[in-house]
Structure 1
């Protein structure tokens, strides 16, 4: 039985959304938002393996996708695939941290809903 969860937040006038599907065996996540949605990274974790992440050149999305995959794996011990593409133009370090914190809050909400 599949369960679908949709989470969203707003930052700097744009939405960041997470579409999550709880599969019979695994959790599939797509995080996208900002001023230009895209595919920037994919992180995958499964039984008895270390995390595997592919990040496209010039992107920084792996920080989010890797974090989500590790947290979800640690809580649920089932295969996890997280795709992330969040873009904002010309952010400073503080604003980048705001994006990371906002995404982490969505992740906290997700974990509570999946338990």
Structure 2
């Protein structure tokens, strides 16, 4: 599997940003919101029971908010049947690359 259907969709919401990351059978598995509190970024994460996307969204939202200097919510839902550990790592790498590319092309620095 190459996971070529993984995608990141950005929805600007005023100054804030919603990022949807999906692949395979799209759904809502987890959502993380990173926001500025004083001079640091805080993150709130919720996940649907039985889903593991929160292991990615928490750090990804923190990184996006830090780099983009705005509140960012990442909603992720990725599902493929019968994945092995190497495939899970590949999905993690690909989703992080999607975020890196988005940040690089949208950074205000």
TM-score category by the smaller chain? 0.7 to 0.9
Consecutive aligned runs of 4 or more in structure 1 exceeding 4 Å deviation: none
Aligned equivalent of 1:32: 22
The yes-or-no answer on 1:44 pairing with 2:36 is no
Aligned positions of 1:25-104 closer than 5 A? 25-34=15-24, 36-48=25-37, 50-104=42-96
Cα distance in structure 2, aligned partners of 1:111 and 1:91: 28
- Count how many residue pairs are aligned between Structure 1 and Structure 2: 104
Q: CA deviation at 1:92?
A: 1.2
TM-score by length of 1: 0.82
1:44-83 deviation line (CA, Å, top 9, x unaligned): 1112162110011110111222122011111022111110
Unpaired runs of 5+ in structure 2? none
Q: Any unmatched runs of 5+ in structure 1? A: 1-9
Q: Distance in 2 between matches of 1:11 and 1:53?
A: 28
Whole-angstrom distance in 2 between the partners of 1:45 and 1:74:
8
Distance 1:66 1:55 in 2: 10
* CA apart distance, 1:112: 1.0
TM-score (norm 2): 0.86
Higher relative contact order (CA 8 A, sep 6+): 2
